[in-house]
Amino acid sequence: MYLVDRYKAHMDKISQDGMTFITPDGECRLTGFFTCERACELPVMDIVILMVKATQTDDVMESVMSCVGPETVLVSLQNGLGNDEALMKYVPADRIMYGSGVIGTELPAPGVCVSKPEAGIQMFFGASVKSAATDAAGKYMEECFNAGGCNASFEDDVRPYIWKKAIMNSGYNTVSTVLRLKVGEAMADEHGRGLITAVWKEGCAVARAAGIIDLWPLIEADTQNLIDNLGDYYPSMAQDSLIHQRQTEISVLNGAIVRYGERFGVPTPVNFALTEIILAIQGNYGRQYNKVKA
């Protein structure tokens, strides 16, 4: 396993002492990682997994391509929609896999990481276009994840999982951010819940037009679960926007729903308006009114 990141203190600590891995079951130390700061320091890999923010994919790929050979399978486990297509300009679709994890993660100190997995399937992935290469890579990853204690599933058709997660995120994540409210607070207000539901319904209509199963019943069934698990949190985009004041993942969430909507002829006005609002906000963090005035 080769880890690549610019966070030098983290890389150095892991390479010297191994990684402290904290899960609900306890803590362990994992050794045997090779670490470096740039992918161009690596030899050719069998599998390259991308976990940078979706908006940074193109920035890192130039360097990443130096460890990609003719047989290498590229895997995006990044959030959002369209990550598979973003990789198609670098390798053919039969060497691309994509998926996503349902795991809360933290990095409290260099060399230490925390996993807070949800119940059930915690990791799913599948091939863009199935081939011998993706089959081999997918089965190998599934085997390693499961042996490592992560309930992973190599799916024949990963799209319903990816889309359901992205659509749900586009609702509660984005709306919470615009409202500056926790998920539970947004869902408890009729207007907040109405807006989230409108985002979800547009997303499901786009997914249907894209030839994916009707996701609405799945999302509806998962709503109480969302409130129970995330109700008291600022979701990731709200953290990006309100707390850290950094670029959000809007372009691979609501922005991607809008783009796929255009492609398949499905109107997505609510996602469009929310995307515009977040784009206007994230270009102006330093100017935003953010104080309590007397």
**Which parts of this chain interact with other proteins (CB under 8 A)?**
178-182, 185-186, 189, 191-192, 194-195, 234, 238, 242-243, 269-270, 272-274, 276-277, 279-281, 283-284, 287-293
Q: How far is the CB of 185 from other proteins (least distance, A)?
A: 5
Q: Which is nearer to other proteins, 56 or 245 (CB)?
A: 245
Q: Which is nearer to other proteins, 9 or 188 (CB)?
A: 188
Q: How far is the CB of 245 from other proteins (least distance, A)?
A: 9
Q: Which is nearer to other proteins, 100 or 248 (CB)?
A: 248
Q: How far is the CB of 232 from other proteins (least distance, A)?
A: 10
Q: How far is the CB of 57 from other proteins (least distance, A)?
A: 22
Let me know: does 233 contact 182? Beta carbons within 8 Å.
yes
* Distance (Å, whole) CA 281 – CA 225: 30
What is the pairing mode between strands 2-4 and 45-50?
Answer: unpaired
Q: Which is nearer to other proteins, 33 or 288 (CB)?
A: 288
Q: How far is the CB of 44 from other proteins (least distance, A)?
A: 41
Q: How far is the CB of 79 from other proteins (least distance, A)?
A: 21
Neighbour tally for 130: CB within 10 Å: 15
Q: Which is nearer to other proteins, 2 or 272 (CB)?
A: 272
Q: Which is nearer to other proteins, 3 or 273 (CB)?
A: 273
Q: How many CA atoms lie within 13 A of 137 on its CB side?
A: 26
Residue with tokens 């047989």: 71
Q: What are phi and psi of 105, to 5 degrees?
A: -130, 150
